[in-house]
Amino acid sequence: MKNTSLFYSVAGFAALSAVASSCQQKQEEQKKYNIVYIMTDDHTAQMMSCYDTRYMETPNLDRIAADGVRFTNSFVANSLSGPSRACMITGKHSCANKFYDNTTCVFDSAQQTFPKLLQKAGYQTALVGKWHLESLPTGFNYWEIVPGQGDYYNPDFITQNNDTVHRHGYITNLITDDAIDWMENGRDKSKPFCLLIHHKAIHRNWMADTCHLNLYEDKTFPLPETFFDDYEGRPAAAAQEMSIVKDMDMIYDLKMLRPDKQSRLKTMYERFLGRMDEAQRAAWDKFYGPVIEDFYKKNPQGKELAEWKFQRYMRDYMKTVKSLDENVGRVLDYLKEKGLLDNTLVVYTSDQGFYMGEHGWFDKRFMYEESMHTPLIMRLPAGFDRRGDVTELVQNIDYAPTFLELAGVEVPSDIHGQSMLPLLRGEHPKDWRKALYYHFYEYPAEHMVKRHYGVRTDRYKLIHFYNDIDVWELYDLQNDPQELHNLYGQKEYEAVVADLKQQLLQLQEQYNDPVRFSPDRDKE
């Protein structure tokens, strides 16, 4: 692939000059950009004020967007943690990186990843936080990860010698401490660096830091319009088990612990509480005690209970985001204080989106908007003048080629994604993709979201649910942004469907996905 990074064009020009002195080379070396990539878990754009002002303020995240760009059409390829991380780190869809789901896969750590390629090119690479790919990280000068999903309080970390160490404190603070410590004391400062900060927050069960427990309690949020969705014409949506009303656990998710009450996930919640020290537990009980008492006294039922669950979910989620926002602020302040901001690309994203009550849900997995969409904002280094919104269709497979190109490393031809650098320079390439491919595999499994693949253009979305079902869905995102009306099978959309099926097949062929739609069977 052609190498067009800003660094390289400067370097290429310099190489043409008569004398390429060692002094010049040194200057060029210093020009190499650093990359700070912050990825949270399950943080959805609805809960970031730079995307959505209805719910909460995220001033530090907004700083990134205000000083840089906000992607308005940013999506994942497979809306689940492990698969999403594998797509991101390889720049390839699940069918190529082979990490299809969280439950059966182990990432083949011998395969090509962008940190390995950066490291080979002289970058210092580091990863801290959630990894979730089962095999140990490779391609990093430094790493420290949490086992599996990690814990909110006093968590364990796996260190590079495969030891498990126990740390005291709240997870989001600890991951940030580790990241800043590596930037300050761990790396070779004569080299450019790429640091991946992978937060555990805001994953279920949304346990806030004790200092934030009292926030947002005076706020009441309107139920999303689709909260009581009846899923008409959408059998896969009807079959899920991620409903706030039906599936949210009163004790584990909503924290209504009382000795005489039982729930499916009570033991897990008790295990989480068991990690707290006395002071943390006292602060926790001080806050939740009165909430629990009030809840069981009032004993809400039916719609009143549904509304109560939604409000508690929103508040817990927001409190957990609050820590994140503050800790992103700490990273930005560090970079600023050390004079690194001008030379560093700062990326903030999530491993996928999340439902905040839309369709009545929490969790993700579906190709429907709130889950397939993921926040993506970037603070750009000097030399990149683009500001405001980038509206092109981008996907998490694009991060790897973007970082490689930024670093002046040739992008291997087997990478599926496209470098976003032209977009960051303010260009609107004519050959930019017109359709995105999506494939979700984890079924049967928790939350019971059926297997599906599909294609999304700027206007339409076509989804095929398969395996133990054979159902197609078509949405006109312009007229039906909430995806309530499945138009598949309607005569006036036949041409649209035919066109989308062609695009779908073309993408499945391009990415060599063996599980693909069969046009011949379709004609039967």
- Give the binding site for ligand SGN (CB under 6 A): 41-42, 80-81, 102, 149, 203-205, 265, 363, 446-447
CB of 515 to Ca ion, least distance (A): 23
Q: How far apart are CA 233 and CA 486, in angstroms?
A: 6
Q: Which is nearer to ligand SGN, 80 or 118 (CB)?
A: 80
Q: Which is nearer to Ca ion, 42 or 178 (CB)?
A: 42
Pick what 416 binds: Ca ion, ligand SGN, none; C-beta below 5 to 8 Å, kind-dependent.
none
CB of 125 to ligand SGN, least distance (A): 23
Q: Which is nearer to ligand SGN, 20 or 106 (CB)?
A: 106
Q: For residues 341-400, which are near Ca ion according to CB under 5 A?
A: 351
Q: How far apart are CA 316 and CA 321, in angstroms?
A: 9
Q: Which is nearer to ligand SGN, 156 or 446 (CB)?
A: 446
CB-CB neighbours of 242 under 10 Å: 21
CB of 350 to ligand SGN, least distance (A): 9
When binding is defined by CB under 5 A, the residue of 33, 42, 47, 61 that contacts Ca ion is 42
- Total chain residues near Ca ion (CB under 5 A): 4
- DSSP per-residue codes, 75-112: E-SS-SHHHHHHHHHHTS-HHHH----TTT----TTS-
- How is residue 12 written in tokens? 């290429």
Nearest 5°: CA angle at 194, between 31 and 344?
Answer: 45
Nearest 5°: CA angle at 116, between 111 and 119?
Answer: 165
Q: Which is nearer to ligand SGN, 41 or 178 (CB)?
A: 41
Pick what 102 binds: ligand SGN, Ca ion, none; C-beta below 5 to 8 Å, kind-dependent.
ligand SGN
Pick what 447 binds: Ca ion, ligand SGN, none; C-beta below 5 to 8 Å, kind-dependent.
ligand SGN
When binding is defined by CB under 5 A, the residue of 8, 41, 256, 384 that contacts Ca ion is 41
CB of 132 to Ca ion, least distance (A): 8
Measured from each CB, the residue nearest to ligand SGN is: 81
Q: How far apart are CA 147 and CA 444, in angstroms?
A: 24
Q: How far apart are CA 335 and CA 252, in angstroms?
A: 38
CB of 480 to ligand SGN, least distance (A): 26
CB of 103 to ligand SGN, least distance (A): 9
Pick what 176 binds: ligand SGN, Ca ion, none; C-beta below 5 to 8 Å, kind-dependent.
none
Q: Which of 73, 89, 96, 79 is nearest to 435 (CA)?
A: 73
- How is residue 136 written in tokens? 């140990």
Cβ atoms of 229 and 484 within 8 Å: the answer is yes
Measured from each CB, the residue nearest to Ca ion is: 81
Q: Which is nearer to ligand SGN, 96 or 146 (CB)?
A: 146
Going residue by residue from 69 to 98, which x/- string records binding to Ca ion, judged by CB under 5 A? ------------x-----------------
Strands 124-130 and 142-146: parallel
If 0-12 CB within 10 Å is exposed, 13-18 middle and 19+ buried, where does residue 113 land? buried
Q: What is the DSSP letter of 275?
A: T
- DSSP per-residue codes, 348-361: EEESS---SSGGGB
Pick what 400 binds: ligand SGN, Ca ion, none; C-beta below 5 to 8 Å, kind-dependent.
none
Q: Which is nearer to ligand SGN, 76 or 347 (CB)?
A: 76
Q: What is the largest CA-CA distance in the chain?
A: 84
Rounded alpha-carbon distances, angstroms, from residue 247 to 104, 114, 226, 242, 266: 23, 38, 17, 6, 14
CB of 363 to ligand SGN, least distance (A): 5
Sign of CA dihedral 285, 288, 293, 296: negative
- How is residue 471 written in tokens? 């159902």
Pick what 392 binds: ligand SGN, Ca ion, none; C-beta below 5 to 8 Å, kind-dependent.
none
Can you tell me which residue has the tokens 């470098």? 419
CB of 472 to ligand SGN, least distance (A): 25
Pick what 326 binds: Ca ion, ligand SGN, none; C-beta below 5 to 8 Å, kind-dependent.
none
Pick what 363 binds: Ca ion, ligand SGN, none; C-beta below 5 to 8 Å, kind-dependent.
ligand SGN
Q: How far apart are CA 358 and CA 505, in angstroms?
A: 30
Reduced to 3 states, what is the DSSP secondary structure of residue 330? Answer: helix
Reduced to 3 states, what is the DSSP secondary structure of residue 460? Answer: strand
CB of 339 to ligand SGN, least distance (A): 36
253 forms part of the interface with Ca ion (CB under 5 A): no
CB of 354 to ligand SGN, least distance (A): 9
CB of 203 to Ca ion, least distance (A): 6
CB of 136 to ligand SGN, least distance (A): 18
Residue type present at position 367: M
Q: Which is nearer to Ca ion, 180 or 356 (CB)?
A: 356
Q: How far apart are CA 171 and CA 14, in angstroms?
A: 46
User: How far is C-alpha 437 from the chain's CA centre?
Assistant: 17
Going residue by residue from 192 to 231, which x/- string records binding to Ca ion, judged by CB under 5 A? ----------------------------------------
Binding positions for Ca ion, rule: CB under 5 A: 41-42, 81, 351
